[in-house]
Structure 1
Amino acid sequence: MRLDLFRGLALLFIFIDHIPNNVLSYVTLHSIAFSDAAEVFIFISGYAAATVYGRALQRQGGVAATGQICRRIWQLYVAHIFIFVILAAEVCYATLSLHQTYSEDFGIDNFIDEPQVAIIKVLLLQYQPQFLDILPIYMILLGVFPVVLLLLQRCLPLPLILSGALYLLTLRFGWQPHSYPDNEAWFFNPLAWQFLFVIGATAGYSQHSRWVFPGQGSWLPKLAIAITVAIGIVSISWTIHGAYDAFPGLLSRELSPLVADKSNLAPLRLISFLALAVTVAHFVGRDSGVLRWRVAQLIIRCGQHSLQVFCLGIVLSVLGYILLTFFRDNILTQLAIDLAGIVAMMGIAVLLTWYKANNATNADAVIAASANFEIQRRSIAGIERHVIVWIQDLGRLWARSKRPRTEVRWRSQPYPMS
């Protein structure tokens, strides 16, 4: 439940942060840390993947675990194509209805100019319009995850060491894949972000290891809390207007480049997130009362249906952006759009939870009915056997009653005296 809570929060933060100049973005993660919801999403994805597919690896073997991973990749691929179609339809409809051009804002102008090329690039994950850049990296990371999973099973630190080395080499030499158009780099460089994914996978595969989850008396939570507080002070000073100048200019100039490179997962972003993750895990335990709050339960539902809620959040983000640019952009309008979007995302999560529970109940009813039918069938079969035996006995008695009387009298007479 704790994992689903943080994943649900990340989905809500992604929706809020995707709407530009949103007043609620001042209370999301990027306002109090160098990282944002993207780090939460990738880390939890690795953690959940190792937990789910690691269990499948231990119980069913590598082939079954790989098959489940491939099925998940296909689901993500279909969702990605579906979101692209919906986003393009939203933008085109808004352009025709509101007589304003939104294609450049969302990066689908190339799709409109040369659809015969762009559609192929979309299918190859090389064309990533606005808001559609996180699912491709997730699919790439899951594509190599069977190898990571096998290495985790053989030697726990090995994938982490190899992943860290690749991360450092990527930062040093600037390795990155390129996308369409203009041969631009991916917004999320998978060669860099894979390190955070593997960190999450290592934590998920070794949930009971003190090396990953230090106890209450360990020095690591204290260090993480100190780092989180220090980064929080600096980040808040950058967020609140007028407080930026209160910090030394040298500090601001030196830190900004180390934080701004989100595409390659800047080291300070990684440190900020890891410190925050340890801090939150320290204060919010597995049995924390926070998990039983009513609002927390709704957020947990969002985390349990992350793919569907994420897709809806992207669609609503595009709609909210269009509404804010066409109508009057003020705080009340922003809050109304935020509230409507959050309610819609929580509503679809509750609906999916009900639907899943209802299907499970129906499945149990079908199983119970099948069992009762089998019992009744066996009972009827037993009765049929008894009836057949009775009929056979009656037939024998009837046959005996039809035998000649002489035969009966002969058998009943005593043997003659000699």
Structure 2
Amino acid sequence: MAASGPPSAAVTPAAKTRDLRLDFFRGLALLFIFLNHIPNNAVSWISNRNYGFSDATEAFVFISGYSVFLAYGAAMQKQGFVIGLARIWRRVWQIYTAHVFLFIIFIAQIAWLATRYNLDLAEEMNIAPLFEAPHILMLQALLLKFRPVNMDVLPMYIALMAAFPPVMWLLQRRPHSVLAASFLLWLAVQFKHWNLPAYPDGNWFFNPLAWQFLFVLGAWCAMHRQSAPWRRLPVAPVTILAALYLIFALLIVLSWLHMSWAGYVPDALARLLYPIDKTEMDIWRLLHFLAQAWLVVLLVKPDAAFLGWRSSQLLILCGRHSLHVFCAGIFLSFAGHFILSEIAAGLVAQMVVSLTGIGLMVALAALMTWYKTVESGRTASGQVGA
């Protein structure tokens, strides 16, 4: 049973020194998401999606929950629920506005290219109904019920953020009970398949009722970052189990690529494994992410030398401006898909498209950092003048 009050880690302001690991791995996840959204792209083989059951989405959601608690937990603790609610919902409005803007730009991009070059692109990206009833689709898009292909992550994030204020308020008072309730909701979804409705039919691709567990788990870990209860686990056995599970997942994934290997997977194990569902964050995906996270926390310290490398600093910039970089990645991934499907499809073209997209995303992050620095300088000068 959780203590009656929040532990000291919950009320201690975030450390002044920023944990660069959060920005680094969030930036890496954003680049992986961009590469994975380009079909038939050999460069996407560098992403973790191809070597296990989970992919960059799990890391993105977990780090988002961790970061949200760091950003707003202290304010809610000191200033009260209403102030914390207002601050979080202000951020939700910013993300929602970005989603709507991205939706308009994205469908304009797809519609123009589809009508000019290949109408099949509209069907492939799930915007064909737009030509028949644009007023209905626009309304459904504003309600987050209609989404083109590759635009499912932000609506899930908006839903998780919008519902998070009461969760965080309770988390600061009954942290273990909230985490247990979050897990039970995830578990119920695995059996009951509860989900939110989508338009024109079906459900949300990323079910927020399931993915909320990773978000809450991230916030719970941020709350306990100083006491770190996971450090009480026996390191050697957990590390061995995590490594063995990652090897097991790798072998299963390899059996998908080499049909001759599929015969080595026992039928009983195949029935237990499949389908490895992404919509409801299947147990196999969850365990795979937790195994990766355990090894990362164990092996990558906050002062790891590689975090100071130039290439790492570029990823850190992307992680610090995740919303802008993510939106740019969605736009660029379809542009890359169009180039590879309609203009050139070879390995060289795939590398050029991928590297160009990554370069543009990094450049955007650098531009946002420069702009923020300039604005901070102007604000400071104005305060001194006053």
Q: Would you say same fold, with TM above 0.5? A: yes
CA deviation map 1:343-365 (0-9, x unaligned): 00001001111111121122222
Matched, 1:72 2:76: no
Query: Following superposition of structure 1 onto structure 2, how do residues 3-402 of structure 1 map, counting pairs within 5 Å?
Result: 3-181=22-200, 183-214=201-232, 217=235, 219-239=237-257, 241=258, 244-245=261-262, 247-250=264-267, 253-254=270-271, 256-259=273-276, 261-370=277-386
Give the 3 Å change call, closer, same or farther, for CA 336–216 of structure 1 in structure 2. Answer: farther
Supply the distance in 1 between the matched residues of 2:264 and 2:316 (Cα, whole angstroms): 38
Shift of 1:126: 0.8
Please name the residue that 2:13 is paired with. none
Shift of 1:196: 1.4
Matched letter for residue 257 of structure 1: Y
CA deviation map 1:222-271 (0-9, x unaligned): 432332233233334434x4663473353773365142x11111100000
Number of matched residues? Answer: 367
- Find the residue that maps to 1:103 and give its secondary structure: helix
Matched letter for residue 148 of structure 1: V
Matched letter for residue 345 of structure 1: M
Supply the distance in 2 between the matched residues of 1:145 and 1:265 (Cα, whole angstroms): 19
Q: Which has the higher contact order (CA 8 A, sep 6+)?
A: 2
* Conserved? CA contact 1:258–1:267, under 8 Å: no
Give the 3 Å change call, closer, same or farther, for CA 121–292 of structure 1 in structure 2. Answer: same
Shift of 1:94: 0.7
Shift of 1:219: 4.3
Shift of 1:3: 0.3
- Find the residue that maps to 2:228 and give its secondary structure: coil
Shift of 1:27: 1.8
Matched letter for residue 311 of structure 1: C
Pick the structure with greater CA Rg: 1
Q: CA RMSD in A?
A: 1.9
- Find the residue that maps to 1:188 and give its secondary structure: coil
Give the 3 Å change call, closer, same or farther, for CA 255–18 of structure 1 in structure 2. Answer: farther
Supply the distance in 1 between the matched residues of 2:28 and 2:268 (Cα, whole angstroms): 31
CA deviation map 1:50-85 (0-9, x unaligned): 111112122322221111110111011111111111
Supply the distance in 2 between the matched residues of 1:309 and 1:60 (Cα, whole angstroms): 31
Calculate the TM-score normalised by the size of structure 2.
Answer: 0.90
Give the 3 Å change call, closer, same or farther, for CA 368–218 of structure 1 in structure 2. Answer: farther
* Conserved? CA contact 1:228–1:275, under 8 Å: yes
CA deviation map 1:321-375 (0-9, x unaligned): 11111112111111110000000000100111111112112222222233xxxxx
**Unaligned stretches of 5+ in structure 2?**
1-19
Q: Percent identical across equivalent pairs? A: 38
Give the 3 Å change call, closer, same or farther, for CA 50–214 of structure 1 in structure 2. Answer: farther
* Conserved? CA contact 1:47–1:204, under 8 Å: yes
Give the 3 Å change call, closer, same or farther, for CA 327–256 of structure 1 in structure 2. Answer: farther
User: After the TM superposition, which parts of structure 1 deviate over 6 Å for at least 4 consecutive aligned residues?
Assistant: none
* Conserved? CA contact 1:11–1:306, under 8 Å: yes
* Conserved? CA contact 1:302–1:345, under 8 Å: yes
Supply the distance in 2 between the matched residues of 1:243 and 1:286 (Cα, whole angstroms): 43
Supply the distance in 1 between the matched residues of 2:382 and 2:338 (Cα, whole angstroms): 47
* Conserved? CA contact 2:321–2:368, under 8 Å: yes
Shift of 1:309: 0.2
The farther-off stretch of 60-69 and 359-368 is 359-368
Calculate the TM-score normalised by the size of structure 1.
Answer: 0.84
Supply the distance in 1 between the matched residues of 2:265 and 2:207 (Cα, whole angstroms): 32
Give the 3 Å change call, closer, same or farther, for CA 237–286 of structure 1 in structure 2. Answer: farther
Please name the residue that 2:3 is paired with. none
- Find the residue that maps to 1:154 and give its secondary structure: coil
Supply the distance in 2 between the matched residues of 1:342 and 1:214 (Cα, whole angstroms): 39
Supply the distance in 1 between the matched residues of 2:290 and 2:198 (Cα, whole angstroms): 29
Please name the residue that 1:410 is paired with. none
Please name the residue that 1:382 is paired with. none
**Unaligned stretches of 5+ in structure 1?**
371-418
Give the 3 Å change call, closer, same or farther, for CA 285–362 of structure 1 in structure 2. Answer: same
* Conserved? CA contact 1:207–1:213, under 8 Å: no
